[in-house]
């Protein structure tokens, strides 16, 4: 809840449950609310006016947490790799930590886990080093994607979707793009290590402290494999 000038409030709390197909359709439609979502917003508008609001303006654009991921990247990033610390320390471009956030649930995930003898689908928060290879696309020259739709696999998108993580990836890709231009190479051929050298020489390399949680990584890798995600 944010208090804005003029006695206005911004309420960021309405979650709309959709399946994968619906999420993709919303993304393709410019993240505009569907008729179904607008109908639900009407109920919220009535409720807010019932407690004193004079006017209620529904969101004109949705935040879509996840609507699929690209393929054909240099090195896909899995949740289990995050739990192992992510990019190796010697080539890391920073470090990030966030829970595997699947608030609202993933339909059928719990049942699938139970069928394979897995009692819980909750895993520890990964503290992992940042790289760019999950965003560099091999199949299209000089293209990268920095977003929740990058080359994440398994549980990775639930932590990798966060803006602060993607800001670090985006900065590094900017350096990689300049490096590619100056050396006459494809963007996908620029390595983490080359970007790291630039960050070191300009004294811009953040602290690197990725942490390997081997037991949790093993459990998650097994889970991702059982779900045909690895």
The share of the chain scoring above pLDDT 90, in percent, equals: 65
Q: Answer yes or no: do 153 and 198 share one domain.
A: yes
Residue 60 is assigned to a structural domain of this protein = no
> Both tokens of residue 52?
């004193």
Q: Answer yes or no: do 24 and 122 share one domain.
A: no
Q: Answer yes or no: do 35 and 81 share one domain.
A: no
Q: Answer yes or no: do 109 and 33 share one domain.
A: no
Residue 190 is assigned to a structural domain of this protein = yes
Question: How many C-alpha atoms does 12 have within 13 Å on its Cβ side?
Answer: 7
Provide the H-helix boundaries in 51-149.
79-83, 109-115
pLDDT tens digit string along 5-44?
988 888 877 888 888 889 889 989 999 999 999 999 999 9
How many domains, the chain?
Answer: 2
Q: Answer yes or no: do 87 and 196 share one domain.
A: yes
pLDDT tens digit string along 151-170?
999 999 999 999 999 999 99
pLDDT tens digit string along 63-112?
888 778 999 999 999 999 999 999 999 999 999 999 998 766 677 777 77
Q: Answer yes or no: do 221 and 108 share one domain.
A: yes
Q: Given this model, what pLDDT does residue 104 score? A: 66
Q: Answer yes or no: do 139 and 213 share one domain.
A: yes
Residue 72 is assigned to a structural domain of this protein = no
| SS3 of residue 9 by DSSP | strand
Residue 96 is assigned to a structural domain of this protein = yes
Residue 67 is assigned to a structural domain of this protein = no
Q: Of 93, 90, 87, whose CA–CA distance to 126 is shortest?
A: 87
Q: Given this model, what pLDDT does residue 229 score? A: 47
Q: Answer yes or no: do 104 and 141 share one domain.
A: yes
Residue 65 is assigned to a structural domain of this protein = no
Q: Answer yes or no: do 40 and 143 share one domain.
A: no
Q: Given this model, what pLDDT does residue 116 score? A: 74
Q: Given this model, what pLDDT does residue 113 score? A: 76
Question: How many C-alpha atoms does 203 have within 13 Å on its Cβ side?
Answer: 0
Residue 62 is assigned to a structural domain of this protein = no
Range of the domain at 13: 2-50
Mean pLDDT of 194-219: 97
Q: Answer yes or no: do 40 and 128 share one domain.
A: no
Residue 178 is assigned to a structural domain of this protein = yes
Q: Answer yes or no: do 87 and 151 share one domain.
A: yes
Q: Of 19, 111, 81, 95, whose CA–CA distance to 213 is shortest?
A: 81
In the predicted model, what is the mean pLDDT of the chain? 91
Q: Answer yes or no: do 115 and 218 share one domain.
A: yes
CA pair distance 74, 83, nearest whole angstrom = 20
Higher-pLDDT residue of 4 and 172 is 172
């Amino acid at each position: 809840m944010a208090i804005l000038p003029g006695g206005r409030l911004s309420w960021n709390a309405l979650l709309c449950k959709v399946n994968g197909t619906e999420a993709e359709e919303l993304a393709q439609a410019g993240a505009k609310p569907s008729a179904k979502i607008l109908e639900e917003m009407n109920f919220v508008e009535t409720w807010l006016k019932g407690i004193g609001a004079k006017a209620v303006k529904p969101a004109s654009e949705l935040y879509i947490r996840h609507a699929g991921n690209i393929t054909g990247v240099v090195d896909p990033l899995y949740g289990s790799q995050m739990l192992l610390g992510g990019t190796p320390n010697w080539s890391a471009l920073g470090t990030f930590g966030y829970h595997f956030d699947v608030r609202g649930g993933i339909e059928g995930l719990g049942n699938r886990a139970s069928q394979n003898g897995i009692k819980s689908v909750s895993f520890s928060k990964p503290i992992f080093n940042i790289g760019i290879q999950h965003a560099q696309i091999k199949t299209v020259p000089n293209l990268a994607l920095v977003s929740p739709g990058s080359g994440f696999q398994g549980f990775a998108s639930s932590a990798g979707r966060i803006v602060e993580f993607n800001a670090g990836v985006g900065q590094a890709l900017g350096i990689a793009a300049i490096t590619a231009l100056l050396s006459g190479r494809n963007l996908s051929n620029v390595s983490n290590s080359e970007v790291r050298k630039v960050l070191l020489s300009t004294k811009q390399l953040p602290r690197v402290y990725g942490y390997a949680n081997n037991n949790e990584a093993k459990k998650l890798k097994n889970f991702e494999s059982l779900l045909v995600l690895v």
